[in-house]
Amino acid sequence: QAFFCLLLCIPWGSSCPPSCRCTERAGAKAVLCSSQHLQEIPKDIPRDVVLLKLDANSITRIPSNAFRHLSHLEEIDLSGNAIEQIDRAAFRGVAAGLRSLDLSGNRIRSIPKEALLALRAKLRLANNPWHCGCALQEVLGEGRLDPDSVRDITCHTAPRLEYVGKPLLQALDSGANFCSVPQRSTDVAMLLTMFGWFAMLAGYVICYVRHNRERSRGHREHPRALPGTRGRAE
């Protein structure tokens, strides 16, 4: 942390995104874009940046490959934005080297687990309006979450009302298993689909049987009419 603090103090002269400040120490570069009213991630961030601060802006989305060209990146601070959407490949290209990712204080309700589980970075996800579902549970179980911020991951919505407003850890400790809900929903959907196919098949069989009965009845009645028809003809 002291190393990154030193980065904030020494300016460097190469290209720097508009509205940002760039610093360098011992060859490690930092791009500081805090509180600049940015609505998206800058496109012209230098490739050799190590620390990227985008906190306290108005960014709403992290698109796929947003940082792919930043192969030296070790720390990203996106806290205090208005992020609602994170694409599955948002951190592609930086997953191996990233050490810290701060997404706290945004508007994130859900996140594709593929976006975070590939990261080795320490994650900060507190103070978002989370929907407590299977993806978030898996991130909590397999991701490297910052211990100090885990307690502030709260269920803004949940499959069951009793978990709303509770910390995710507390809900899980009480026996909640959000990953079982989608499986039950899938089972119900499969049963409904099978019932629908069975109903269609039964309807087809009934129509087929009725049609054959009517044809048989017509064949039986047609010969009886023939003698009377011949008599009238004579």
3 state SS of 195: helix
- DSSP-assigned beta bridge partners for residue 29: 24, 49
Instruction: Identify the residue whose tokens are 């508009």.
Output: 18
CATH 2.70.98.40 is held by the domain 21-174: no
Task: Check: CB of residue 19 under 8 Å from CB of residue 38.
Answer: yes
The amino acid occupying position 192 is L
Query: Which DSSP letter does residue 39 get?
Result: S
| CA 67/CA 43 separation, integer angstroms | 9
Work out whether strand 75-77 and strand 21-25 pair parallel, antiparallel, or are unpaired: unpaired
Q: Is the pTM of this model over 0.85?
A: no
> Cα angle at 102 between 41 and 9, to 5 degrees?
75
Domain residue limits, the chain: 21-174
pLDDT in tens, 154-169: 999 999 999 999 999 9
Structure tokens at 66: 């947003």
Structure tokens at 211: 């049609």
| CA 171/CA 185 separation, integer angstroms | 20
Question: Percent of the chain beyond pLDDT 90?
Answer: 59
| CA 209/CA 15 separation, integer angstroms | 81
Given a cut of 50, is residue 10 above it in pLDDT?
no
pLDDT in tens, 73-92: 999 999 999 999 999 999 99
Given a cut of 60, is residue 183 above it in pLDDT?
no
